[in-house]
Amino acid sequence: MSRFGTGALGRVVRSGVGRRRVQTVVIAVAVMMAVASAVVAGSLMVAADAPFDKAFARQNGPHITAEYDPAKATTAQLTATGRLDGVTATAGPYPVATLRPVDAGGGHLRPITLAGRSTPHADVDDLELSSGQWATKPGEIVLTSQVAGPALELGTELKTSDASDAPTLTVVGIAVSAGRSADAWATPAQVTALAAKDTPVTHQMLYRFDSADTGGHIAAARKQLAAAVPKGALLGTQSYLDTKRAADAGAAPTIPFLIAFGVLGIAMSVIIVGSVVSGAVGTGLRRIGILKAIGFTPREVVRAYVAQALIPAGVGIGLGVVLGNLLAVPLLDGTEQAYGTASLSVAWWVDVVVLVAALLVVGIAALVPALRAGRLRTVEAIAVGRAPRTGRGQWAHRAAGRLPLPRAVTYGLAAPFAHPVRTAAMLLAVAFGTVAATFAVGLTSSLNAVGAAQDPENRAAVSVFTGAGPDVTRGGPPAPAPGTAELPPDPGPGMAELPAAADPARVRAAIEAQSGTASYYGKTQQDVTVGGVSGIAQASLYEGDSRSGAYEMISGHWITGRGQVVVPSRFLEKTGTEIGDTIRVTHQQRTQTLRIVGEAFDTSDGELEIHADLADFPNAAPGVFLVEVKSGVSATDYARDLAAAVQPLGGDASANSSSEQDNFVLILNAMAALLTLMLVSVAGLGVLNSVVLDTRERVHDLGVCKALGMSPRQTVSLVLASVAGIGVLGGLIGVPAGFALHGFVLPVMGRAAGTELPPSVLEVYEPPHLVLLGLAGVAIALLGALIPAGWAARTRTATALRTE
């Protein structure tokens, strides 16, 4: 006999692939989808594994970002700090200024730190441009991916302040800084030109050290820097350890989610590929017997049928790797924005591992039945190949025959018992597909609930500012300028620099007098200390009925009066307290004893936060009033009219835009939707292949049924009924398993984010949803069987009777 690929053996392989076109296509497509889902899941799991550390190392991120007073330290003195012991690399000095830009509509944006750099490349903090170009001339600005968004994209124009003669900057690029040394960059000359009384320009230096793994190393390095320059020249520093903690906290919740989908994808890939390939070889037993009868050796038979499986599977594997990479790119791009890391791509070794693993699974799946066929005697192989083993499943036919259903349906219901192994593989595929659908629906609902629960103050239609104290009600407090430490708090984002604080009582009276007011409450945020806890805590203080701005409660209740405090999960964990305990809170040398009455679902970034009644803090005044307007009243018109009334008092009013879900939630939703679609598609292809094999095997029996009067519609019913029971059972298995997976993964994601989850996030399944998800198993099975059912119905009786 000739070697494989030529002569008779080669013709056998080529004819086997070409003759069974449907089966060949199904193998290729099923393997392609399975491999693509494994590549996507694997690449996302790799992306979620320490994304900050990888990006930081690739960009040579700064261990310390330091800010200096140019009036006290010269450029030469700053450059000399790069020669200190332990310093391995430096960049700078760069001019830095903090701006409060204004958009084209006159709205105030959050303060940003603008650094002057002539190029994105440096020995430290080697930036990566994700889009656009670098700022090379006056009037151009590059934003970080954290600052950029739908409202700030390429081409957007920003004024540096609300002054009439303020320069205008155009966004020309988006860059990523793993070390987050600044929010935006422009040319050094542009930053220097922005120097003004209210916009001082300082100097920024970026450092890398040979030892910077612990807080102790960072503290020692900072002390060394302070000693190397004149006293008071070092204004502040930022440690990369703080940036790393923030980045890791954002990535941590995705890891259990990706592991769950990754395991589902890999398990389903193995099941589908194994069942498809082994089924393809198993149905060729009779042909194997014929080949042996005409002189093929057992080894040649095994080689021929393994090759017949590997050829379409190999094509599917190659296409699956390409498709997986293409599908992973947009998800990784979104993951980059969610994590705030440098550009991510599919790791080459993920492609290699998936490719090798798929080839191994295909080879084993084909080899096992081929070896069995090779060991069969010629006569036995021909006999076994004609039909399922004699007597197998007869009891099922007898039992189904007693049901009050049409004979075509009962025949179909009993058919799966003739091939128990193939049926088990089909059942697992349907069950896994239903698990994926159930988990994805629950996850999406939970993530939407998380998005709705965040920043509850944004639910208000209108915000009215008094300027009486710090306020964080519109997007959270601005982050300290990168490279600084212990700077005074900035006013809340979106809030203008008011000349003087308005009298809250007069603003309150104006709100009550304004036509269209439905309800309102006051709020401010103050720095406080908590007894037994070091450092400063942030206290959100509420005046009036604040239920409309209440956080979702994990346990307990929202504040209803004086002497009460609501805290997030991280506060309870850090302080070792629980609901019912009391804490001592000090604000401006006045101490109050407050009782913890609730645990709030608060995902903001503050280390320690509390929510209390403003009446317990007599030295504080509302910085903002959040107003609900009556039905039919335009929030924009209401805010314009109210602004005209409160601006003479020193206040201001603006309508709140509809809050958008966080990028992180949107990215996870996109991941869940894509991975679920792929897994359900793979499950449907597995069903399709199994039904094609069964229909091909029973085509002679179908011809007999047609000869006895079975109509095409009854033939379709027979084929669909053969998978209906599998679909029902797969749904009954998959829905509870998906429900349990959701109940396990969501709390793990919450704990990774540093919080427990409220019932509104966990209890998202309604009985009607579970029933519909159960029917998803039936839908997967029926859709997978629809094409072969149509083929069986169209096959002519004479053709079916002549088919072996």
pLDDT-based confidence at residue 14 (cuts at 50, 70, 90): low
**747 preceded by a cis bond (ω within 30 of 0):** no
Domain identity same for 157 and 252: no
Read off the tokens for 271: 């099941």
Quote helix, strand, coil % in the chain, to nearest 5.
Answer: 55, 15, 30
pTM of model > 0.85: no
Cβ–Cβ < 8 Å for 150, 205: no
Domain identity same for 433 and 561: no
Give the range among 82-86, 379-383, 511-515 with minimum mean pLDDT: 379-383
Q: Which residue has the higher pLDDT, 385 or 737?
A: 737
Say if 75 falls within a structural domain: no
Tens digits of per-residue pLDDT, 469-495?
Answer: 553 333 333 333 333 333 333 333 333
- Look at residues 610, 630, 655 and tell me which one is the last residue of a structural domain: 655
- Kindly report the backbone phi and psi dihedral angles of residue 767, in degrees, each rounded to the nearest multiple of 5, phi listed first: -50, -45
pLDDT-based confidence at residue 207 (cuts at 50, 70, 90): very high
- Look at residues 209, 230, 255 and tell me which one is the last residue of a structural domain: 209
Cβ–Cβ < 8 Å for 674, 665: no
Domain identity same for 194 and 292: no
pLDDT of residue 266: 65
Say if 690 falls within a structural domain: yes
Q: What residue type is assigned to position 389 of the chain?
A: R
β strands within 569-632, DSSP E: 582-587, 590-600, 609-613, 624-629
Say if 77 falls within a structural domain: no
pLDDT of residue 95: 93
pLDDT of residue 744: 87
- Kindly report the backbone phi and psi dihedral angles of residue 241, in degrees, each rounded to the nearest multiple of 5, phi listed first: -65, -35
Burial classification of residue 768, based on how many CB atoms lie within 10 Å of its CB (0-12 exposed, 13-18 middle, 19 or more buried): exposed
pLDDT of residue 496: 35
Domain identity same for 497 and 626: yes
Instruction: Give the contacts of 754 (CB within 8 A, at least 6 positions apart).
Output: 249, 569, 570, 573
* Half-sphere exposure (Cβ direction) of 297: Cα atoms closer than 13 Å: 7
Domain identity same for 113 and 197: yes
Domain identity same for 371 and 399: no
pLDDT of residue 483: 35
CA dist 114 and 97 (Å) reads 5
Q: Print the domain residue range for 406.
A: 390-454+662-804
Q: Which residue has the higher pLDDT, 477 or 139?
A: 139
Domain identity same for 583 and 469: yes
Widest distance between CA atoms in the chain: 103
Q: How many domains does the chain have?
A: 4
Domain identity same for 526 and 628: yes
pLDDT of residue 709: 77
Say if 645 falls within a structural domain: yes
Say if 561 falls within a structural domain: yes
pLDDT of residue 486: 34
pLDDT-based confidence at residue 8 (cuts at 50, 70, 90): low
Domain identity same for 180 and 220: no
Cβ–Cβ < 8 Å for 113, 65: no
Domain identity same for 181 and 223: no
289: nearest Cα among 175, 419, 386: 386
CA dist 379 and 385 (Å) reads 10
Beta strands 87-99 and 202-209: pairing type?
antiparallel
Say if 191 falls within a structural domain: yes
Say if 710 falls within a structural domain: yes
- Look at residues 193, 209, 225 and tell me which one is the last residue of a structural domain: 209
Domain identity same for 512 and 596: yes
Q: How many CB atoms lie within 10 A of CB 440?
A: 25
pLDDT-based confidence at residue 3 (cuts at 50, 70, 90): very low
CA dist 31 and 357 (Å) reads 12
Q: Which residue has the higher pLDDT, 477 or 270?
A: 270
Tens digits of per-residue pLDDT, 312-361?
Answer: 888 888 998 888 888 777 666 655 554 545 455 667 888 888 888 888 88
CA dist 732 and 215 (Å) reads 53
Residues shown for the chain = 804
Domain identity same for 205 and 218: no
Q: What residue type is assigned to position 556 of the chain?
A: G
Say if 69 falls within a structural domain: no
